[in-house]
Amino acid sequence: MLLAAQLSSEVEHQENKDKLYKASRIQDFLDSIRESLIKHGAIRRSQTFLGSTVGSILKPEQWITEQKERYQKSSNTLKSKQEKIRDDLRKAQKDSCEYLEQQIEATFQDVINVIPTFAENHWEANEHELTLFCQTPKTFVISKFCNPCLLNDCFVIY
C-alpha cells in the first residue's frame, strides 16, 4: 500500500501515477485516520499507522474472554458434579452399612428366638446324645426364620 503510494510520487512512474495512487488506497487510509482523530482524539502510542492494532486486538480479546468464561463455567459445573457424586457415594456407603447392621441384628435375633425351642426339644438329652450331637455337625434349618441369602438357607451347629 505505501509502496504504491511512494511509486506514484516518483518521476519514473509518472505515466502510471494515477493508477498507483488509486491502487495504494492511501486516501482511504488517511480518511480513516482523520475519522479516528475526530472520534477518539489523539492517536495513542499503541496504535500504528499500518495496523491499527487497538482495533485488531479487541476482537481476539473479546473471544478469549468469552472462551475463558465458558471454560470457567464448565469447570464449576464439573466441580459441582464431583461434589454431588462424592455426597451420593457417602450416603450410599452409610445406607449400606446401616442396612447390613439391620440384617445382622435381625439374623441374630432370629437365632436367639430359635434357641428356646431347641433347648426345649433337647433338654432331656443324655450325655451320650449331646456328645454325639457335638461330634457330628448337625444342620439345623432355620430358613423360615432367616434371610436365605445371608445364611444360605441353613445354620450349622457344632
Return the bridge partners of 140, or none.
Answer: 155
Q: 149 with 71, same domain?
A: yes
Q: 38 with 111, same domain?
A: no
pLDDT for 149 beyond 50? no
Q: 132 with 120, same domain?
A: yes
Q: 32 with 65, same domain?
A: no
Percent of the chain with pLDDT over 90: 27
pLDDT of 139 reads 47
**In which domain, by residue range, is 128 found?**
44-157
pLDDT for 98 beyond 90? yes
What pLDDT band is residue 78 in, cutting at 50, 70 and 90?
A: very high
pLDDT of 145 reads 43
pLDDT of 47 reads 53
Mean pLDDT, rounded, of the chain: 73
Q: 63 with 37, same domain?
A: no
Q: 61 with 104, same domain?
A: yes
Q: 62 with 114, same domain?
A: yes
Q: 21 with 68, same domain?
A: no
- Compute the distance between CA of residue 44 and CA of residue 37 in angstroms, rounded to an integer: 10
Q: 34 with 77, same domain?
A: no
pLDDT for 158 beyond 70? no
More confident residue, 35 or 112: 112
Q: 37 with 105, same domain?
A: no
Q: What is the pTM of this model?
A: 0.39
Cβ–Cβ under 8 Å, residues 80 and 102: no
| CA-to-CA separations, 31 to 17, 27, 36, 129, in angstroms, rounded | 20, 6, 8, 119
Q: 9 with 72, same domain?
A: no
Stretch 136-143: mean pLDDT: 45
Q: How many structural domains comprise the chain?
A: 2
**134: closest CA among 146, 148, 122, 151?**
122
